[in-house]
Structure 1
Amino acid sequence: MTGLRYVYAVCHPLGAPLQAELTGVAGDPPRLLTHHGLIAVVSHVPERDFAEQPLRAHLEDLDWLTETARAHQGVIDALTVVTTPLPLRLGTVFRDDSGVRVMMEAREDDFRHTLDRLEGRVEWGVKVYVESEPEETGEPAEKAASGRDYLRQRRRYVRAHEDLWQQAEEFASRLHAVLSSHAEDSRLHAPQNATLSGISGQNVLNAAYLVSRHESEEFVELVDRTKDDVPGLRVELTGPWAAYSFAGEETGEGDTT
């Protein structure tokens, strides 16, 4: 099949085959491209969609982007079952196999170093949210009898809101310190925008933790024990994922010229 080469990840040779009938981006099954003992996991994708200009336009199309990201993640998830992949950024595309090999040659030392560091490890994500409040509009719940009563109720509301946010920030800091001490590495990401994510509550912690597979059960139990520590807060755990936050990917630019 002709077409450009879409690269999902680089990894060591697989210890077991990928699941049968796995399809990737643009519906094409992933293939393994070997170079100096490393594996690039690639699919063939059509130039009409993945050359530089159409790809740039497609990345502004939310439906197309969602479908492509889901297919990309499906391959990464399948790889995570059988090996420790070094995931590349969504939309990493090269002209042909030779372009992929040139990239692997140029970055071989970095790939080997990072793969050795990530071997046997997975990423867990932990988010803390301040739950929506009854007076989310900022209006007191009780009807004020006078202007003075209204101002008094407003002051109580503001103080309660400030206290909750202070508790949330202190809890998030403590939780991050505890989880970081039980992980091999950690990353703090910017809080998620509630409007864009569509998730209820205000995000006060958005962190990733690199954890050994053998210690993941203990890490999950540690997070579970904190979930009810502070009323009004919600703790969410996701994973295990391939270690995107620790892959050290500077760019997803390929060579499609």
Structure 2
Amino acid sequence: MTDSSDTAVYLYGVTRGLDPAVLGDSPGVAGAPVRGVVTGDLTALVSTVRLDEYGEEALRANLEDLAWIEATARAHHAVVDRAARVAPTAPVRIATVYHDDERVSQVLREGRERFGTALDRITGRSEWGVKAYAYPEDDRPAEEAVPTATGGGSGQAGAGTAYLRRRQEQRRRRTEAGRRLSERAQAIDAELRVHAVAVRRHPPQDPKLSGHAGTPILNVAYLLDDARVPEFQALVRDIDERSPGIGVEMTGPWPPYSFIETDGA
């Protein structure tokens, strides 16, 4: 049996109306079982973790370890995702750790109104992501080398001037293409956001991470009433079909990370 002096309590999020038993034996961070700390009508989803990995000094070191962060984030998000599919769940940041269950209960008591407001906002709603990618035909002229003049000095100067003009034209065309793509992205978002309860724009994802060949131009999270999701999905498909050179995709549902403020947890 683990000595309580060697352990702490890891918090995933706060939910309402959820029996942690429905999460089954699915493990949380470090393979630890997930359980609930109930205070009033709120339930904190937690795991008991060892201080030698989740204590203050250990966390400082582990948060510099990308592999550790990735594994912890994956386990954290998996717990939140399972809970959010059953009941409204307000996630907290990864690596949120408290001394014991009593301290977690105190957090719930002190934040009862704040957590209640957050859960009211997301009840019957879910987060969905929409990303758009541009796939323009590559009609850009190839980069040209400065011509080597074989004649006199005036011919060489003329060739250099022509080269600079071509480069300026290429830059102008790239700038104009970027402006047009930005306008198309804004138009897509404008058409979608009127159907959402709330919207949060994120920076377009690095193509190396997304695996898409196209240029990312839009990355937006929408908080939707669950009843309106089919209508929203149909609209995304319609926009995709009538947007030549643009691919639009929708993902979700996700736990409402983009629409929950729980930094005080």
TM bucket normalised to smaller: 0.7 to 0.9
Deviations 1:98-128 (A, max 9, x none): 1101111110011111111110100011223
| In structure 2, C-alpha distance between the alignment counterparts of 1:198 and 1:61, rounded to whole Å | 24
* 1:206 Cα deviation from its structure 2 partner: 2.4
Which of 36, 43, 64 is the equivalent residue of 1:39?
A: 43
Which of 93, 96, 109 is the equivalent residue of 2:97?
A: 93
1:30 aligns with 2:34: yes
1:222 aligns with 2:223: no
Q: Which runs of 5+ in 2 are unaligned?
A: 148-158
Contact 1:140 1:153 in 2 (8 A): no
Indicate how the Cα distance of structure 1 residues 144 and 57 shifts in structure 2: closer, same or farther if over 3 A, else same. Answer: closer
1:213 aligns with 2:226: yes
Contact 1:124 1:237 in 2 (8 A): yes
Q: Which runs of 5+ in 1 are unaligned?
A: 253-257
Alignment partner, residue 141 of structure 1: 142
Which of 188, 200, 221 is the equivalent residue of 1:175?
A: 188
Letter of the structure 2 residue corresponding to residue 242 of structure 1:
P
Question: TM-score, length-normalised on structure 2?
Answer: 0.82
* 1:42 Cα deviation from its structure 2 partner: 0.5
User: Where do residues 74-223 of structure 1 align in structure 2 (5 Å cutoff)?
Assistant: 74-131=78-135, 134=138, 140-141=141-142, 146=147, 147=159, 150-151=163-164, 153-193=166-206, 201-223=214-236
Alignment partner, residue 255 of structure 2: 242
1:52 aligns with 2:56: yes
Letter of the structure 1 residue corresponding to residue 197 of structure 2:
E
Indicate how the Cα distance of structure 1 residues 228 and 154 shifts in structure 2: closer, same or farther if over 3 A, else same. Answer: farther
* 1:154 Cα deviation from its structure 2 partner: 3.5
* 1:193 Cα deviation from its structure 2 partner: 4.8
Indicate how the Cα distance of structure 1 residues 251 and 168 shifts in structure 2: closer, same or farther if over 3 A, else same. Answer: farther
Larger mean CA deviation between 220-229 and 76-85 belongs to 220-229
- Report the structure number with the largest CA radius of gyration: 2
Indicate how the Cα distance of structure 1 residues 162 and 228 shifts in structure 2: closer, same or farther if over 3 A, else same. Answer: farther
Question: TM-score, length-normalised on structure 1?
Answer: 0.84
* Identity between Structure 1 and Structure 2 (%): 38
| In structure 2, C-alpha distance between the alignment counterparts of 1:245 and 1:145, rounded to whole Å | 50
* 1:38 Cα deviation from its structure 2 partner: 0.9
* 1:58 Cα deviation from its structure 2 partner: 1.1
Larger mean CA deviation between 206-215 and 94-103 belongs to 206-215
